[in-house]
Amino acid sequence: MVIWLIGLSGAGKTSIGRALHGLWQSREPATVLVDGDQVRAIFGQDRSPADYTVEGRRVNAVRLFEMCAWLDRQNINVVCCLLSIFPDIQARCRTTYSRYFEVFVDVPLDVLAARDDKGLYGPALAGKTRDVVGVDIAFPRPPLADMVLDNSGFDVAPRELALAVARRAGLACGPDALSRAHFATAQDAEGSSRARPGGRTPVGAHDRESASGAGDPDGQGWP
Protein backbone atom coordinates (compact mmCIF):
# COMPACT_ATOMS: atom_id res chain seq x y z
CA MET A 1 0.00 0.00 0.00
CA VAL A 2 1.14 3.54 -0.77
CA ILE A 3 0.09 6.64 1.21
CA TRP A 4 0.90 10.06 -0.19
CA LEU A 5 0.92 13.09 2.12
CA ILE A 6 0.58 16.20 -0.05
CA GLY A 7 0.88 19.82 1.05
CA LEU A 8 2.66 23.12 0.67
CA SER A 9 6.11 23.60 2.13
CA GLY A 10 5.79 24.07 5.88
CA ALA A 11 2.34 22.47 6.15
CA GLY A 12 3.65 19.68 8.39
CA LYS A 13 3.42 16.76 5.98
CA THR A 14 6.92 15.42 6.72
CA SER A 15 6.40 15.49 10.50
CA ILE A 16 3.09 13.69 10.12
CA GLY A 17 4.65 11.25 7.67
CA ARG A 18 7.47 10.35 10.04
CA ALA A 19 4.98 9.69 12.82
CA LEU A 20 2.77 7.61 10.52
CA HIS A 21 5.77 5.62 9.29
CA GLY A 22 6.77 4.83 12.87
CA LEU A 23 3.28 3.62 13.77
CA TRP A 24 2.90 1.51 10.65
CA GLN A 25 6.40 0.05 10.69
CA SER A 26 5.94 -1.09 14.30
CA ARG A 27 3.26 -3.49 13.04
CA GLU A 28 4.48 -4.07 9.48
CA PRO A 29 8.30 -3.90 9.27
CA ALA A 30 8.25 -3.79 5.46
CA THR A 31 7.28 -0.12 5.53
CA VAL A 32 9.45 2.75 4.33
CA LEU A 33 9.36 6.54 4.37
CA VAL A 34 10.03 8.39 1.12
CA ASP A 35 10.56 12.14 1.47
CA GLY A 36 10.59 14.39 -1.58
CA ASP A 37 13.39 16.65 -0.32
CA GLN A 38 15.58 13.70 0.65
CA VAL A 39 15.12 12.09 -2.74
CA ARG A 40 16.12 15.39 -4.36
CA ALA A 41 19.31 15.41 -2.30
CA ILE A 42 20.13 11.76 -3.07
CA PHE A 43 19.98 12.43 -6.80
CA GLY A 44 21.67 15.82 -6.56
CA GLN A 45 18.59 17.64 -7.82
CA ASP A 46 18.78 20.40 -5.22
CA ARG A 47 21.82 22.31 -6.45
CA SER A 48 20.50 24.53 -9.22
CA PRO A 49 17.62 27.02 -9.55
CA ALA A 50 16.50 24.99 -12.58
CA ASP A 51 15.74 22.08 -10.25
CA TYR A 52 12.89 24.08 -8.72
CA THR A 53 11.19 25.25 -11.91
CA VAL A 54 7.99 23.49 -12.97
CA GLU A 55 10.04 21.34 -15.34
CA GLY A 56 12.55 20.44 -12.64
CA ARG A 57 9.77 19.65 -10.19
CA ARG A 58 8.16 17.28 -12.69
CA VAL A 59 11.42 15.33 -12.94
CA ASN A 60 11.39 14.80 -9.18
CA ALA A 61 7.65 14.04 -9.14
CA VAL A 62 8.02 11.30 -11.76
CA ARG A 63 11.00 9.90 -9.87
CA LEU A 64 8.96 9.72 -6.64
CA PHE A 65 6.04 8.11 -8.46
CA GLU A 66 8.27 5.44 -9.99
CA MET A 67 10.12 4.83 -6.72
CA CYS A 68 6.84 4.23 -4.89
CA ALA A 69 5.67 1.89 -7.67
CA TRP A 70 8.94 -0.06 -7.50
CA LEU A 71 8.58 -0.53 -3.74
CA ASP A 72 4.88 -1.37 -4.01
CA ARG A 73 5.60 -4.14 -6.54
CA GLN A 74 7.82 -5.73 -3.89
CA ASN A 75 4.99 -5.62 -1.32
CA ILE A 76 6.69 -2.85 0.65
CA ASN A 77 4.40 -0.26 2.22
CA VAL A 78 5.25 3.36 1.50
CA VAL A 79 4.59 6.67 3.23
CA CYS A 80 5.55 9.40 0.77
CA CYS A 81 5.72 13.09 1.75
CA LEU A 82 5.82 15.47 -1.17
CA LEU A 83 4.76 18.79 -2.59
CA SER A 84 2.68 17.45 -5.46
CA ILE A 85 1.57 19.96 -8.11
CA PHE A 86 0.75 17.52 -10.91
CA PRO A 87 -2.83 16.14 -10.82
CA ASP A 88 -2.03 13.82 -13.74
CA ILE A 89 0.59 12.03 -11.65
CA GLN A 90 -1.83 11.80 -8.71
CA ALA A 91 -4.34 10.18 -11.08
CA ARG A 92 -1.72 7.65 -12.23
CA CYS A 93 -1.15 6.63 -8.61
CA ARG A 94 -4.73 5.41 -8.38
CA THR A 95 -4.39 3.13 -11.39
CA THR A 96 -0.84 1.93 -10.71
CA TYR A 97 -0.39 1.13 -7.03
CA SER A 98 -1.92 -1.94 -5.42
CA ARG A 99 -3.66 0.32 -2.89
CA TYR A 100 -3.40 4.09 -2.74
CA PHE A 101 -4.52 6.56 -0.08
CA GLU A 102 -4.03 10.28 -0.59
CA VAL A 103 -3.92 12.81 2.24
CA PHE A 104 -3.95 16.56 1.68
CA VAL A 105 -2.40 18.47 4.61
CA ASP A 106 -4.26 21.74 4.21
CA VAL A 107 -2.79 24.99 5.53
CA PRO A 108 -3.63 28.34 3.89
CA LEU A 109 -0.75 30.23 2.31
CA ASP A 110 -1.29 33.27 4.53
CA VAL A 111 -0.79 31.10 7.63
CA LEU A 112 2.37 29.57 6.18
CA ALA A 113 3.69 32.98 5.15
CA ALA A 114 3.09 34.35 8.65
CA ARG A 115 5.04 31.46 10.21
CA ASP A 116 7.62 31.12 7.41
CA ASP A 117 9.86 28.83 9.45
CA LYS A 118 12.12 28.18 6.45
CA GLY A 119 12.31 31.79 5.27
CA LEU A 120 10.79 30.68 1.97
CA TYR A 121 7.64 32.72 1.49
CA GLY A 122 8.73 36.20 2.59
CA PRO A 123 11.33 36.71 -0.15
CA ALA A 124 9.04 35.13 -2.77
CA LEU A 125 6.10 37.37 -1.87
CA ALA A 126 8.44 40.37 -2.04
CA GLY A 127 9.52 39.37 -5.53
CA LYS A 128 13.10 38.61 -4.47
CA THR A 129 12.99 34.88 -5.28
CA ARG A 130 11.24 32.79 -7.89
CA ASP A 131 9.79 29.34 -8.41
CA VAL A 132 8.11 29.02 -5.04
CA VAL A 133 5.02 26.84 -5.07
CA GLY A 134 2.01 28.72 -3.78
CA VAL A 135 3.45 32.08 -4.84
CA ASP A 136 4.59 32.21 -8.46
CA ILE A 137 4.03 28.50 -9.13
CA ALA A 138 0.42 27.46 -8.76
CA PHE A 139 -0.52 24.83 -6.20
CA PRO A 140 -3.64 22.99 -7.39
CA ARG A 141 -5.52 21.50 -4.46
CA PRO A 142 -5.63 17.71 -4.86
CA PRO A 143 -9.07 17.17 -6.44
CA LEU A 144 -9.66 13.64 -5.16
CA ALA A 145 -7.85 13.45 -1.82
CA ASP A 146 -9.14 10.56 0.27
CA MET A 147 -8.62 12.64 3.40
CA VAL A 148 -8.04 16.32 4.13
CA LEU A 149 -6.23 17.30 7.34
CA ASP A 150 -6.78 20.90 8.41
CA ASN A 151 -3.46 21.68 10.07
CA SER A 152 -3.81 25.45 9.99
CA GLY A 153 -3.73 25.73 13.77
CA PHE A 154 -0.50 23.76 14.21
CA ASP A 155 -1.90 22.89 17.63
CA VAL A 156 -2.09 19.10 17.35
CA ALA A 157 0.89 16.79 17.68
CA PRO A 158 2.00 15.06 14.45
CA ARG A 159 1.48 11.68 16.11
CA GLU A 160 -2.18 12.45 16.74
CA LEU A 161 -2.65 13.51 13.13
CA ALA A 162 -0.85 10.36 12.03
CA LEU A 163 -3.21 8.26 14.13
CA ALA A 164 -6.17 9.86 12.38
CA VAL A 165 -4.65 9.00 8.99
CA ALA A 166 -3.94 5.44 10.10
CA ARG A 167 -7.50 4.94 11.26
CA ARG A 168 -9.05 6.35 8.10
CA ALA A 169 -6.73 4.34 5.85
CA GLY A 170 -7.47 1.15 7.76
CA LEU A 171 -3.90 0.47 8.85
CA ALA A 172 -3.13 -2.22 11.40
CA CYS A 173 -1.54 0.06 13.99
CA GLY A 174 -3.28 -1.43 17.00
CA PRO A 175 -6.62 -0.61 18.66
CA ASP A 176 -5.02 1.04 21.68
CA ALA A 177 -3.15 3.52 19.54
CA LEU A 178 -6.06 4.22 17.23
CA SER A 179 -8.44 4.81 20.13
CA ARG A 180 -6.46 7.94 20.94
CA ALA A 181 -7.08 9.63 17.60
CA HIS A 182 -9.06 12.70 18.69
CA PHE A 183 -10.62 13.65 15.41
CA ALA A 184 -14.14 13.61 14.04
CA THR A 185 -15.35 13.20 10.51
CA ALA A 186 -16.92 16.44 9.32
CA GLN A 187 -18.08 15.16 5.97
CA ASP A 188 -18.40 11.83 4.20
CA ALA A 189 -18.47 12.11 0.44
CA GLU A 190 -21.01 10.14 -1.49
CA GLY A 191 -19.91 6.94 -3.14
CA SER A 192 -17.21 5.90 -0.68
CA SER A 193 -17.45 2.34 -2.01
CA ARG A 194 -17.18 3.44 -5.64
CA ALA A 195 -14.48 1.60 -7.58
CA ARG A 196 -11.46 3.59 -8.66
CA PRO A 197 -10.16 3.54 -12.24
CA GLY A 198 -8.43 0.26 -12.92
CA GLY A 199 -10.86 -1.69 -10.73
CA ARG A 200 -9.40 -0.57 -7.41
CA THR A 201 -11.53 0.46 -4.46
CA PRO A 202 -10.88 3.61 -2.43
CA VAL A 203 -9.43 3.09 1.03
CA GLY A 204 -11.83 5.44 2.82
CA ALA A 205 -14.03 8.32 1.76
CA HIS A 206 -13.10 11.86 0.83
CA ASP A 207 -13.13 13.21 4.38
CA ARG A 208 -11.96 16.34 6.15
CA GLU A 209 -10.40 15.79 9.54
CA SER A 210 -10.32 18.84 11.76
CA ALA A 211 -7.12 19.34 13.72
CA SER A 212 -9.18 21.13 16.37
CA GLY A 213 -11.73 18.31 16.75
CA ALA A 214 -14.53 20.48 15.34
CA GLY A 215 -17.62 18.55 14.46
CA ASP A 216 -17.32 16.18 17.45
CA PRO A 217 -20.55 16.90 19.35
CA ASP A 218 -19.52 15.33 22.65
CA GLY A 219 -15.89 16.40 22.54
CA GLN A 220 -14.66 12.86 23.05
CA GLY A 221 -13.23 12.21 19.60
CA TRP A 222 -13.34 8.80 17.96
CA PRO A 223 -13.99 5.82 20.21
Residues belonging to the active site = 84
DSSP-assigned states of every residue in 131-187? --BTTTB--PPPTT-SEEEE-TT--S-HHHHHHHHHHHHT--S-HHHHTT----B--
Residues 32, 78 contacting (CB under 8 angstroms):
yes
Please choose, from the candidates 154, 160, 165, 208, the residue with its C-alpha nearest in 3D space to the C-alpha of residue 10: 154
Q: Which amino acid is at 144?
A: L
Residue 118's alpha-carbon distances to 42, 63, 115, in angstroms, are: 21, 25, 9
Q: Helix or strand or coil: residue 206?
A: coil
Report the 10 Å Cβ neighbour count for 101: 23
